Amino acid sequence: MGRFVGGPRGRRRGFRIAVFLIVAVAMGGAFGVPVLASRQTPAVDSSVPVMLDTNPTGLQLALDGSPMIAPQTFNCQVGSTHSVDTSSPQAGGSSSRRWVFSRWSDGYSQRARSFVCDVAVTYVAEFIQQSLLTFDTSPPGLMIEEDGTLFAAPQAFWWEEGTVHSVMCVDPPSGWTFQHWDDGRTENPRLFVTSGPEDRTCIYGPGPVPIYATGPRHNLTVTRGAWDPRAAATTTPPVAIWWLDLALPGRRA
């Protein structure tokens, strides 16, 4: 027959085993030794915020080739490399105004750049505004001079806002002479302070016509009231001269 183990002695042995387990669990926890369950380490966020913007804000950028409208902020994984670019020029609200890239806010001068994420940072693309100024002549096709360089009219220039430029209406070799600008101004050359789009025209009129007098050899200047060979004319100095006329040679003035 089997033996029955019980009574006070059996209970004392079971009590000692239970006490040992409780003490082991307590000591394991005190010394950092997991006994009944494993501990999980929480994930660490290793990204930093990067902000991309333009000055003025609202212009176009591209992050890693994807277009966007500034400003934009994204979380960048520490140690990762990215590229940012911007287009230039960009529309400035009308066909006669535009924004042209100047530099980045940290002094970097190239439009396209790359960066490595390590700390929170902001990159701002700086732009300058340009305006379109157009110059023409009346009659058309004559020459103008802009900042010392000759151009055939009409000619258009993109100038940075706030800059000053010189424009001169150039007299042709003969036939025409500058009279005034289309807005009534008469200075020539004329300084323009760029403050917005502008259209200006050089107005020309008939110029003095050189002739030769018979007899004493000296030049005279004939000034007509209109550009018409049949119009009345005066001479400087006033003298009596012989006009050469192919139909009626020898006619006296």
Average pLDDT over residues 1-20: 46
Q: Using 50, 70 and 90 to split pLDDT, how confident is the model at 207?
A: confident
Is residue 156 domain-resident?
no
- pLDDT at 205 > cutoff 70: yes
Is residue 120 domain-resident?
yes
- pLDDT at 3 > cutoff 50: no
Is residue 206 domain-resident?
no
pLDDT for the residue 247: 45
pLDDT for the residue 210: 58
Is residue 64 domain-resident?
yes
- pLDDT at 185 > cutoff 70: yes
pLDDT for the residue 173: 84
Is residue 103 domain-resident?
yes
Average pLDDT over residues 178-202: 97
Which range has the worst mean pLDDT, 21-25, 29-33, 88-92, 94-98? 21-25
Give the domain range for residue 68.
47-130
Is residue 117 domain-resident?
yes
Average pLDDT over residues 61-90: 97
Is residue 70 domain-resident?
yes
pLDDT for the residue 18: 43
Contact between residue 25 and residue 35 where contact means Cβ atoms under 8 Å apart? yes
Of residues 128 and 32, more confidence is placed in 128
Is residue 35 domain-resident?
no
- pLDDT at 237 > cutoff 70: no
pLDDT for the residue 64: 96
Q: Using 50, 70 and 90 to split pLDDT, how confident is the model at 2?
A: very low
| Chain mean position to CA 198 | 19
pLDDT for the residue 43: 54
- pLDDT at 229 > cutoff 70: no
pLDDT for the residue 98: 98
| Per-residue pLDDT tens over the stretch 84-115 | 999 999 999 899 999 999 999 999 999 999 99
Give the count of domains, the chain.
1
